[in-house]
Amino acid sequence: MQPLIRNLAIIAHVDHGKTTLVDLLLRAGGDLNARDDAEERVMDSMDLEREKGITIRAKNTAVHWRACTINIVDTPGHADFGGEVERVMKMVEGVLLVVDAVEGPQAQTRFVLRKAFQQGLRPVVVINKIDRPQADPRRVHNEVLELFLELDATDEQFHAAFLYGSARDGWFSRSPDEPSRDIVPLLETILEQVPPPKIEAGAPFRMLVSNIDWDDYVGRVAIGKIESGSVRRGEILHRLRPGGARDSARITRVVEFASLRTRDCETANAGNIVGIAGFEDVEIGETLAADPEAQPLPFVSIDPPTVQMDFSVNDSPFAGREGKYVTSRQIRDRLARETKTNISIRITDAEQAGVFRVSARGAMQIAVLVEQMRREGYELLVSSPSVITREVDGRSLEPFETLYVEVPEAHLNAVLKSLGSRRARIESMHSRSGHCRMEAVIPTRGLIGFQFDLLNQTAGTGVCSHLFREYAPHCGPIATRQTGTLVSTETGTAMAYSLGALEERGRLFVRPGDPVYEGQVIGENPRGDDLPVNPTKAKHVTNHRSQGDGKAIQLSTPIEFSLERAIEYIASDELIEVTPAGLRLRKRVLCPHERRRQRKRDVVNA
**Interaction site with ligand GDP (CB under 6 A):** 12, 14-20, 44, 128-129, 131-132, 166-168
Q: State the Cα–Cα distance between residues 498 and 535, nearest whole angstrom.
A: 5
Residue closer to ligand GDP by CB (options 44, 80) is 44
133 vs 477, which CB is nearer to ligand GDP? Answer: 133
Residue nearest to ligand GDP (CB): 19
Taking the CB of residue 394, how many other CB atoms lie within 10 A of it?
Answer: 5
CB of 131 to ligand GDP, least distance (A): 5
- Nearer of residues 49 and 530 to ligand GDP, judged by Cβ: 49
Q: Is 573 exposed, middle or buried (0-12, 13-18, 19+ CB in 10 A)?
A: middle
Q: Which residues are bridge partners to 471 per DSSP?
A: 399
Q: Nearer Cβ to ligand GDP, position 126 or 419?
A: 126
Q: How far apart are CA 281 and CA 600, in angstroms?
A: 48
Residue closer to ligand GDP by CB (options 140, 533) is 140
Concatenate the DSSP letters of all residues of 411-427 into one string: GHHHHHHHHHHTT-EEE
Q: Are 233 and 251 in contact (CB under 8 A)?
A: yes
User: Do residues 94 and 7 make contact, with C-beta atoms less than 8 angstroms apart?
Assistant: yes
What is the dihedral sign for C-alpha 560, 452, 341, 312?
negative
DSSP 2: P
Which burial class, exposed, middle or buried, applies to 354 when counting CB atoms under 10 A from its CB (0-12, 13-18, 19+)?
A: middle
Distance CA 119, CA 456 (A): 32
What is the closest distance, in whole angstroms, from the C-beta atom of residue 18 to ligand GDP in the complex?
3
What H or E segment, with its residue span, contains residue 373? Answer: helix 363-376
Residues in contact with 367: Cβ distance below 8 Å, sequence separation at least 6, in sequence order = 563, 564, 567
- If the CB atoms of residues 128 and 330 are measured against ligand GDP, the closer one turns out to be 128
3-state secondary structure 327-364: CHHHHHHHHHHHHHHCCCCEEEECCCCCEEEEEECCHH
d(CA 145, CA 220): 42
Q: For 35, which DSSP code?
A: H
User: 21 vs 424, which CB is nearer to ligand GDP?
Assistant: 21
* Least Å from the CB of residue 603 to ligand GDP: 52
The Cα 448–Cα 264 span in angstroms is: 43
> 82, exposed or middle or buried, with CB in 10 Å at 0-12, 13-18, 19+?
buried
Residue 55 vs 211, nearer CB to ligand GDP = 55
Question: What distance in Å separates the CA atoms of residue 496 and residue 367, rounded to the nearest whole number?
Answer: 32
Type of residue at 473 = P
Would you say 193 and 179 are in contact if contact means Cβ atoms under 8 Å apart? no
Residue 16 or 233 with smaller CB distance to ligand GDP: 16
Beta bridge partners of 507: 524
* 187/502 with CB nearer ligand GDP: 187
- Beta carbon nearer to ligand GDP, 20 or 365: 20
Nearer to ligand GDP, 128 or 316 (CB): 128
Contact (Cβ atoms closer than 8 angstroms) between residue 10 and residue 45: no
